[in-house]
Every structure is written in structure tokens, then in C-alpha cells.
Chain A
Amino acid sequence: MKIVFVILGASLAINIDLFAAEAGMPQLDPKYWASQAFWLVLVFTLLYLAISKLFIPKIKGNLEDRENKIRNDIDEANNLKELSEKKQKEYNLVIENAKKEVQKILSENKSKLNIEIENKKKIIEKEIEEEIQKIQIEIKNLKKNSINDIGKISEEIAQKIIEEISGDKLNESSIKAAISETSKKNMDKYL
């Protein structure tokens, strides 16, 4: 509060003192108006010339250069992007084709292999069949032979037994007839 009063008092004192000392505004003194006008026109004209001929073209050029550079960079980036997308597509296409080809080769080979296996199987089966037939014929022959052999052996055995027992030699043909009759009777059991 005290300070405010002091300031008010001082300001009053100073204002009275100051405005009493020199009244009026120097701005309204026409003594140097012509000088100010002359120097203003001179300095401002020179400044205008310097700015319009020297500085503004430079700043403008620089700003335009920067804008062009940015635009070019963006264009280039877009081009590169397009190019890379194209390449990506090509790459994908190549991979897809390769996959298709692999699938094709795989299936082809599979079917070929299957056919081959089938063929081999048939051949082998045929061979086995032939072999079986051969063996069966052989077995049949063997059986037939063995029946004959058995007939002969049994004839001999029967002759010998009869000789031992009776000391007589029987007619061979009658023995043969008896054995073949028996064997014919029982043949079905063994064949």
C-alpha cells in the first residue's frame, strides 16, 4: 500500500517535471521531414530492389527445388513399389507353376509306377501259376507212377508171400488181376 502511494506521488512529480521540460512531439517538427522522406525512399527502394531481384528468386527457386525433389522422390518410390509388386507377382507365378509341375510329375510317376507294379505282379502271378500247374502235373504223374509201382511191388510182395507160405509159384497174371482189382476198388480212397 505504501509503495503504491509512493509510486503515484513519484509519477505525478515526474510527469509534471517532464512534460514541463519539453512539451510537444518531435514527430511534428517539420525540420527533418524532407530528410526522412528522402532517406526512406532511397533505403526502401534499394531494399525493394535487393529483395525482388536477389533474395526472392533465390528463396523461390530453393522452395521449388525442394518441392520438385520431394515430388520426384515420391514418384520414384511409387515406381519402385509398382516394380516390386510386379516382381512379387512374377515370383508367385513362377512358384505356382513349379508347384503344379511338381504335382504333375508326382502323379505321372505314381501312375507309371502303379502300372509297372501291376505288370510285374501279373507276370509273377502267371509264372507262379505256370509253376503250380507244372508241379501239379508232376504230382499227378508221380501219383500215377506210384500207383503202377505200388501195383508191381504189391504183386511181387504177394508172389513172395505166397511162395514162402505155400512154396508154390502162382500164376503171375492171376495175382496181377487180383491186385489190380483191389487197387481199383481202393484207388478212389487215395487219389
Chain B
Amino acid sequence: MATNPMHQFNVYRIGPEIKIAGIDISFTNASLFMVISAVFICVLLFFGTREKKLIPSKLQLIGEMFYNFIAKMISDTAGSKAKPYFPFIFSLFMFVLFCNMVGMLPYSFTVTSHIIVTLILAIFIFIAVTIIGFIKHGFGYLKLFVPSGVPIVLLPLITVIEIISYLSRPVSLSVRLFANMMAGHTMLKVFGGFVISLGLLGGWLPLSFSVALTGLEILVAFLQAYVFAILTCIYLNDALNLHH
């Protein structure tokens, strides 16, 4: 059981069973690690913003680096109109990043390795972006599906493709994050299992793989959080500045 690479993704209840209108919303290990990640972010930012130093302390510098990083990302991809959405993008990036990073700790649980979590985030972004687009441009937002400069013969086909690609955004966004996280952690677990089963004699090779994979997974954890946030920015850019 313990050597099953999928075992780490099991969700189990912690504490009493909570049911509202017949729906089970008990506190689980997934909930626990969401809370841990959020608390981690808050503690980091709290100590990062406690002192207002002209020359920042290390924690303050980390907070300011995150701030500048995301501010630059938003202004590069979505322009100045996206400024009101900065807190959301910031929260999203921090939450995904810290869930990924906390998941890298041994015996922890990776919140973002569950399709339901990433799907809810992606669907929320999808719906929010669509609403923003319609508020900003009215029905003119539908021009997004009709690119200009396309031969009239190809236009119906292109429009259908555009609509399909637009509707598949939440799926691609959520599956990308979920699959990356799950695959990485499964691989780590498989190589970890090899180390145990091959023992002192042959375990060194998978151990070295494991070490290398841990580095790779940390990179992936950061990269996927970045990709998630920047794709959100790009979708937001489509809604705010209609280019087609």
C-alpha cells in the first residue's frame, strides 16, 4: 500500500464529518494543506511587510520581488487596463506556487495535483474573463471569434475553431497544472520506491535520479504557477483589449 505511487494523492477526512444539505464538506488533508499554504503565504507577507525599511530586509525583499514580478508580468501581457485585477493575479500565483512548493515536502499533500481544484480555479477564471469581456465590449466581444484578415471562405471554419479553443481554455488550463503536478509526484514516488526495493546495492542510481527529479519538480512547481498566472493574464488581455 505505502509503495503505491498513487497513494499520496488519496484524500481522507480529518476530524468530524461535516454535512450541509446532504453534501459532504468535511475537513480533509487536502483542506489542511490548502490552509497551510495560505497561512504560509500570509506569514511570509506579514513578516515581509511588518517593517517599512528604506533598505529592505530579506523577507521584505522577497515580498517586493513577488510584487514586482507579477506587476511586470501583468503590464507586459495585459497592459495598464489590467491593474484592478492585480490582487487577484497575485493571490492566484502565490496560492498555486505555494501549494506546489508545499507539495514538494516529504509526506505532504499536493493540493494542485487534484483536477477538481485546478478545474474550479480555471472555470472561475474562464467565467470571470468572459463576463469582463462582455461588460467591456458588449456583444462586440463576440468579434474575438471572428479574426480579421481571414478569407471569407475559411471564416466559418475559423470561427468554429476559435469557439472550440475558447471553450477548451478552462480544460487546458486546469489539466496542464494538474497533470504536471501528478506526473511529477508519481515519478518521484516511483523512483523512491526503487531506492527501497533495490536496497543498499542498487539503490544509488534511482536515488540520484530522485535527487535530479526533485530539482526538476521544484522548477516545474514554479513554472506551472507562472504559466497558470500568465495564461490568466493573456485571457484577461483578450477580454480587456479586443485585438481581433
Using Cβ atoms and an 8 Å threshold, which residues of chain B touch A98?
Answer: none
Nearest neighbor of B98 in chain A, beta-carbon distance: A47
Using Cβ atoms and an 8 Å threshold, which residues of chain A touch B63?
Answer: 55, 59
B33-54: CB near A (< 8 Å → 1, else 0) gives: 0110010011001101100101
Interface residues of A in 15-36 (CB under 8 A from B): 15, 18, 21-22, 24-29, 31-36
| Residues A26 and B54 in contact, CB atoms below 8 Å apart | no
Given A35-B24, A36-B11, is A11 in contact with B91 using a C-beta cutoff of 8 Å?
Answer: no
Using Cβ atoms and an 8 Å threshold, which residues of chain A touch B242?
Answer: none
Please, how many residues of chain B have a CB less than 8 angstroms from a CB on the other chain? 59
Q: Once the chains are docked, how many angstroms separate the CA of A25 from the CA of B5?
A: 10
Q: Once the chains are docked, how many angstroms separate the CA of A14 from the CA of B192?
A: 12
CB contacts between A and B, total, < 8 Å:
155
Given A10-B198, A47-B41, is A39 in contact with B116 using a C-beta cutoff of 8 Å?
Answer: no
From DSSP, what is the main secondary structure of chain B's interface residues?
helix
Residue numbers of A with Cβ under 8 A of B are 3, 6-7, 10-11, 13-15, 18, 21-22, 24-29, 31-41, 43-44, 46-48, 50-52, 54-56, 58-63, 65-66, 69
Q: 12 new A-B pairs (CB below 8 Å) besides A7-B206, A26-B11?
A: A7-B198, A7-B205, A10-B198, A11-B194, A14-B197, A22-B6, A31-B11, A35-B25, A47-B42, A52-B91, A56-B67, A59-B64
